[in-house]
Amino acid sequence: MSPDSELFIGLMSGTSMDAIDAVLVDFAIEPLRIQSTYTQPLPESLREALLRLAAERSTDPLRCLGELDHLLGSAFANTAQKLLDAARVEACDVKAIGSHGQTLYHSPGGDAPFTLQIGDPNRIAQRTGITTVADFRRRDMAAGGQGAPLVPAFHSALFRHKDRNRAVVNIGGMANVTLLPADPKQPVTGFDTGPGNVLMDSWIRQHRDERYDKGGAWGSSGRIRPQLLARLLRSDPYFQAPPPKSTGREHFNLDWIIGQVGTESPQDVQATLCELTAFSITDAVRGHLPDVVEIGVCGGGAYNRSLLKRIEANLPNCTVVSTANWGLEPQWVEGAAFAWLARQTLRGLPGNLPEVTGASEPVLLGAIYPGRSPAS
């Protein structure tokens, strides 16, 4: 271990509930170096229990909440430990873990906005001995923000270009964009555009019992149905609502689709959901940074070739690339972002962008769960 290294771990499990992604990041090498990665698929039983609880179909919800918080905390801790073992790095050489947690409910509107992430950070700190920063979103909400998206500050630190207007599109369960104007006087903005993979994932699970549409192959065997597309876009005010805005599974899910499809074939619906996802992203990018020239795509959606093709087709004057072309593989961007956010907090620096979340001011995010040796 180099004495000059500055190691952090990021732990991410997003709304897709597919896996826990763990990234070991060294910030001593500018702007950062991914030292090691590890992904731990979520066991189907855990995933189903989470979805049942989130959909309010548990018979004993408080007990279920407590148990899942425990089980996920242990799963996060195990994943961090496996990452360290694979990288042959000692826990004492890691400054901190940034753990996003598993979102069970995100409700940024109404009289009492809240967002709920679980995966007990006490267990992560206790099991690994590493100081853990978690619960990032609620401080931004307490400052009047949406609590989301939080990745734009990281995107800006890593991907902003001095000559070219860029956008970063993160396609997880939901999709969010970060708009990075080249002009340093222009603010960085961003918001959730709506569904990412969630609608396509739900639809293929319903019809073919598969977790996702690999490469977008099934969808590309169908035809985009313009009337269905127009109906879906028109039916939901979310798409045209001005930022700040953020969303989750409570809003975009299987029921959202079922309420609106007619007699179209399942493949045609999948093709149309792919187009809806692409269009809602590109329309948002065009509307908020019209002279954008480059788009970097990250998150699991970057591996869906059909989706990328539709994004390209909708933005003919733009180069669409994977963030791998900008130095960071799509799968690890969000995990690395939470490693970076933990580092911001330990350095006493804010992690939110008020222009993005709508918070009244930049704030230090998260709560610190001390490891075996105090955080420095």
Ligand X SMILES: Nc1ncnc2c1ncn2[C@@H]1O[C@H](COP(=O)(O)OP(=O)(O)O)[C@@H](O)[C@H]1O
Q: Which residues bind ligand X (CB under 6 A)?
A: 14-16, 18, 172-173, 197, 201, 212-216, 299-301, 303-304, 334
Q: Which is nearer to Mg ion, 16 or 36 (CB)?
A: 16
Name which of Mg ion, ligand X, none residue 101 binds, using a CB cut-off of 5 to 8 Å depending on partner kind.
none
299 binds, among ligand X, Mg ion, none (CB under 5 to 8 A by kind): ligand X
Nearer to ligand X, 144 or 215 (CB): 215
Work out whether 201 is an interface residue with Mg ion (CB under 5 A): no
State the nearest-atom distance from the C-beta of 18 to Mg ion, in Å. Answer: 4
Total chain residues near Mg ion (CB under 5 A): 3
Q: With respect to Mg ion, which residue has the nearer C-beta, 159 or 332?
A: 332
Cα–Cα distance, 228 to 2 (Å, whole number): 57
Closest to 173 (Cα-Cα) out of 275, 274, 107, 248: 248
CA–CA gap between residue 188 and residue 168 (Å, rounded): 11
Residue (of 22, 52, 26) closest to 124 by Cα position: 22
Query: How many other β-carbons are positioned within 10 Å of the β-carbon of residue 176?
Result: 29
Determine how β-strand 94-107 pairs with β-strand 7-13. parallel
- Helix, strand or coil, per DSSP, at residue 51: helix
Q: How far is CA 280 from CA 89, 261, 303, in A?
A: 42, 18, 18
Q: Considering only residues 14-53, where is the footprint of Mg ion by CB under 5 A?
A: 14, 16, 18
In the complex with Mg ion, the residue whose CB is nearer, 13 or 189, is 13
Work out how close the CB of 334 gets to ligand X at its nearest, in angstroms, rounded to a whole number.
6
Bond preceding residue 43 cis, omega within 30 of 0: no
* Share in percent of the chain as helix, strand, coil (round to 5): 45, 20, 35
Picked from ligand X, Mg ion, none, the partner binding residue 303 (CB below 5 to 8 A depending on kind) is ligand X
The answer to whether 204 touches 179, Cβ cutoff 8 Å, is: no
- Nearest-approach distance from CB 310 to ligand X, in angstroms: 13
CB of 14 to Mg ion, least distance (A): 4
Closest approach of ligand X to the CB of residue 309, in Å: 12
Nearer to Mg ion, 73 or 350 (CB): 73
Q: Which does 147 bind (CB under 5 to 8 A by kind): Mg ion, ligand X, none?
A: none
Which C-beta is closer to Mg ion: that of 97 or that of 271? 97
Burial classification of residue 255, based on how many CB atoms lie within 10 Å of its CB (0-12 exposed, 13-18 middle, 19 or more buried): exposed
Measured CA to CA, the distance from residue 128 to residue 111 in angstroms comes to 39
As measured in angstroms, the least distance from the Cβ of 314 to Mg ion is: 25
Nearest-angstrom CA–CA distance, 311 and 288: 16
Binding site for Mg ion (CB under 5 A): 14, 16, 18
